Structure 1
């Protein structure tokens, strides 16, 4: 049954208040004004509670009951600022039509786009304006989660097709059109088949959640395959300095590590798959060659250390996966002995020499000191002790006294830049693209990760308590990431604001908190 919203939806504490809800005819279109009828005021205004209007929570946000004299606008459209907008945004996020974010009272471009997608799915005029029918449909307990299928057109379809192409389910980039046709339906069915979902050809909640998850299985060259195509990719990866073993056409651990390292340095989603986008970038003249240096950490560093150990430049005890000063000195010695420029960084030339067949072994020398493994040095141990009970080990922090202030300064310089889904800068961003761009601007070599990927990045010191966050930390919440600015503030690319903002770390952030990552010590 369709209902009209009153000026205030509330329960009187200890009293059953009569709130008049008038009916709405089905023939009224989505832009008809919202008719409101208020119950008589009691002589003494009691404390207000909020009526439960949805399965998941109250219609209006906590502590934001609509006050008398602040009626809901007849039409909620771009530019409107009103508490009901926050409720609309939260509901659209819950239903999968907006990226997860702290709701705001401002009705901007991202909310307009989300409302249009909702209207499209529910057979309403796609004007992005919330009239009575649209409002009732969004707030209905029976509202359906975002879903698209054959015949639908839109910018959201183009994004879905782009990901299907990257995962190898759409064969060519010209199929990324924004029009959900037969080829897209076939690609979705194939994705669902490979990943064990119901094969209905529709992109609904389970398929949407799968598209960017770590568990997704691609339809492309991946681990365990052997072919001439894999061989060609390995040869290119070796030429660029990413492969640490001889190309053999078999997609094994070395190839996966090399592909991930290549993706990280070439602004691609780091998934270890040789998908279409990765192969195009790999064969491009603009492909960025490898470079591993002081402060890096991961499997690629371990492979280099193992090779240095093989030729006598590094003792086995220093194979830590962390590129510290001992590894840097070992690389310099290797470069000097093998006729390379001794800069201490492993670029394409050093990697090719290190993985080649004509390598000069290290001369006899005294034993090396123990390599620090990033997060386990004394300075970092002190840092861990100060946050006892709120952090988990294994990650490292970068000891750069100016790092925090530089990161916050860079982030603040982009306040006001528009939010654009998938954008990584320099003048438009989504939430994860903003964090990625800011970190790289201050010299932190961080690959692009989705908000989901930030949950398990593992590279830095993990903060497990919301109350232990400090300025410069990366905060990860459900479906969103930001940069802690200190003083109870956060800087993030906000979909609900439609731009980069600096705002309070409110209860929304605390309630949705997953973890934080300490980048700087």
Structure 2
């Protein structure tokens, strides 16, 4: 199972027959010759599924085997056909990898800057570990910034002032919007609660989170407690739509999970109400234990969460 810390994003596709359309607009099948097949092969190669010395426009046995392997590992229908769903998952995974690389690049840059200031003595690992966090704290204290140990916007901005970075061409990361994510999740309001279910027709709490995230290219562990152990920890005051929120009945063991949608609201499959509902974090009776971020969304589009259950 591939472990994923960042989460990522999903493209929104439209059907069409335009010869200049992007990968995903045409269903690619074994035996076909099509200009998009070379791009499909390249993406599969990046993900470690396609093993051939060149990319071609022919959908042969090697391409089919690569698609089947990808489909199997991501819980998709294993038919060897690169349709819209399969290609959307492939593209989402590519975006995840690019996002990870960008975060690693930023972490390495921070470590190098702190090293130049004599505040960091470790190796350039491209990971914000505890040693790096202590160096960040020392820098924040020196510069009169809030001492958090986190590479927040103010800290990065000050480092960039001290160590100007070359301007890079803006990249199109094609992040899915928070509104689109929440709208998709809200489609399942009212679906029945069934223990162990994650079919799309019925859910338990972690079944809902697993199902929703799967549709955005994110593979989660199946239980709430397992999901709590991974992802990026998020403070309650920093919650954003798409974050998973976790609860405990006894204040110790994680036993429930929901999806934050903004405005203090979260969607979850409620065993007491026997359906998928919306609740307010401020009044919910479950004992809040924390949040985890598995997916990065485009949060520029501000909106309020659903007001009613």
Q: TM-score, normalised by structure 1?
A: 0.27
Q: Which has the higher contact order (CA 8 A, sep 6+)?
A: 2
